Structure 1
Amino acid sequence: MRILLVEDEREMASWLERALAQSGFVPDHAPDAHSAEAKLAEREYDAVVMDLRLPDKHGLVLLREMRARGDVTPVLILTAQGALQDRVRGLNLGADDFMSKPFALEELEARLTALVRRSRGRPVPRLQCGALEYDSESRAFSLDGAIVHLTPREHAALVALMLRSGVPVEKMQLFGKVFEHDSEASPDAIEVVLHRLRKKLAGSDVHIVTVRGLGYMLESMQDGP
């Protein structure tokens, strides 16, 4: 999925570009409204992630102009915490979804996937690894048909591993999915999250293995020889 990221804060944009690319998205970055308009004219995007506080034009003005010329690309707006007025105006101008800063990367990715799916009329995708199943619409995991209760960090880690089941995920890549980009947590904190996940998967045919030098991998015993 090709995503246009309209964000003037360079550090935030770089972090989002890396994270989205690691999750299989194809992000293009526009640091201001003028650049965004040029990119939208050049190619079609599956969705737009738009900050409102742009240096040359307010994001809601950019959104209004997109809709006025018939551009129906799904738009997810990033707002300041509690900016109710921006949300109301955005809805009236044709925004499709909102997220407040700071936000969890895993939730942003889930919302983008849902936006694109709805715009294409696609069925709800389900991911499966052995007895473990993930419903991306409800964002719920089930194991042998029973809901698995997870903390937000456990959920983010398991989604990242599930999306690449059978393939190792590097430690720092997984850390970036679980902890906020400005978190002061040590990279070793991911071990605590994985330890709790292993306990919750214990007794099933699904487990998280450490692949020396490569990272961590979710696998099912059903996938073996």
Structure 2
Amino acid sequence: MKFLLVEDNQELANAILSRMGLDGHVIDHATKLEDARAFVATGDYDLILLDIMLPDGDGREFLRQHRASDQDTPVIILTARSQVSDRIGSLDLGADDYVTKPFDHAELEARCRAVLRRKSGIAKTTIEVGGIAFDPVAGSLNIAGKEITLRNRELRLLELFLNAPGQVFSKQKLADRLFSYDDDVSENAIEVYVGRLRRHLQGSSMKITTLRGLGYRLGHDG
């Protein structure tokens, strides 16, 4: 998954980046609303983690504008404010959840998973299709009864394909979802990850097809 973290406390941001990165998530980090707006204007995100008190304004105004532009990206508010009125106000503006600082990082991760499940309309975490049983939360892949270990970006690449079977993803689109804004990524790197994932999927009825000049698509083999 690709997240946008909007947080000006560098110590807290580093902790979130480290924990989420261990799970294979790609995270862009903005310390100001101005930077957050630029990220949203140029990239697609599965989830936004949004602080309220930022150097150049109130995160709730960013949320209001985000929802007014018909953006449905899930947003979890991160704030030290614990009053019920603050929580209600943020939820009424369109926040999907609200986490009060200080928080346990395991709780934040669980809330992220819950929000993403609600967004996708999936009650359970395991995706089963074409002989594949894939749990993106546990990071497990089972094909024909065989457990397969995936590296982080292979895991997120498979998750991306399985969440949109039949959709064509260009190399640029895959790079945008698998790497952060600061990463230097070549097309060859995308080809390497797709090639690895193809080998992992052998034994299932799912296949990643190359559409010359367009990109890649996951579908049933044959």
- TM-score normalised by the chain length of structure 2: 0.60
Note closer, same or farther for the CA distance 1:185–1:122 as it changes in structure 2 (3 Å cut): closer
Note closer, same or farther for the CA distance 1:125–1:9 as it changes in structure 2 (3 Å cut): same
Q: CA deviation at 1:151?
A: 0.4
Partner of 2:184: 184
Aligned length: 185
Letter in structure 2 aligned against 1:35: E
Q: Is the 8 A contact 1:75 1:97 kept in 2?
A: no
Note closer, same or farther for the CA distance 1:197–1:34 as it changes in structure 2 (3 Å cut): closer
Q: Is the 8 A contact 2:144 2:203 kept in 1?
A: no
Note closer, same or farther for the CA distance 1:139–1:151 as it changes in structure 2 (3 Å cut): closer
- The gaps in structure 1 that reach 5 residues or longer are 53-58, 78-85, 100-109
Partner of 1:19: 44
Note closer, same or farther for the CA distance 1:186–1:144 as it changes in structure 2 (3 Å cut): same
Q: CA deviation at 1:204?
A: 3.2
Q: How does 1:74-153 map to 2 (within 5 A)?
A: 74-75=96-97, 89-90=102-103, 97-98=107-108, 112-115=112-115, 117=117, 123-153=123-153
Give distance in 2, aligned partners of 1:96 and 1:66.
23
Note closer, same or farther for the CA distance 1:90–1:204 as it changes in structure 2 (3 Å cut): closer
Q: How does 1:34-53 map to 2 (within 5 A)?
A: 34-36=60-62, 47-50=74-77
Q: Is the 8 A contact 2:130 2:206 kept in 1?
A: yes
Give distance in 1, aligned partners of 2:111 and 2:211.
30
Q: CA deviation at 1:113?
A: 4.5
Partner of 2:80: 60
SS at match of 1:141: strand
Note closer, same or farther for the CA distance 1:66–1:36 as it changes in structure 2 (3 Å cut): farther
Give distance in 2, aligned partners of 1:215 and 1:40.
30
Note closer, same or farther for the CA distance 1:97–1:35 as it changes in structure 2 (3 Å cut): farther
Partner of 1:170: 170
Q: Is residue 194 of structure 1 aligned with residue 183 of structure 2?
A: no
Q: How does 1:203-222 map to 2 (within 5 A)?
A: 203-221=203-221
What are the superposed Cα offsets for residues 123-161 of structure 1, whole Å, 9 maximum, x if unpaired? 314433311222344342221232221000111111111
- The gaps in structure 2 that reach 5 residues or longer are 7-29
Partner of 1:55: none
Q: CA deviation at 1:37?
A: 7.2
User: RMSD of aligned C-alpha atoms?
Assistant: 4.5
Q: CA deviation at 1:182?
A: 0.9
SS at match of 2:141: strand
What are the superposed Cα offsets for residues 78-109 of structure 1, whole Å, 9 maximum, x if unpaired? xxxxxxxx95x246xxx99437xxxxxxxxxx
Using the aligned pairs only, state the percent identity: 25
Give distance in 2, aligned partners of 1:36 and 1:188.
36
Q: Is the 8 A contact 1:47 1:76 kept in 2?
A: no
SS at match of 1:19: coil
Q: Is the 8 A contact 2:154 2:193 kept in 1?
A: yes
Note closer, same or farther for the CA distance 1:5–1:189 as it changes in structure 2 (3 Å cut): closer
- TM-score normalised by the chain length of structure 1: 0.60
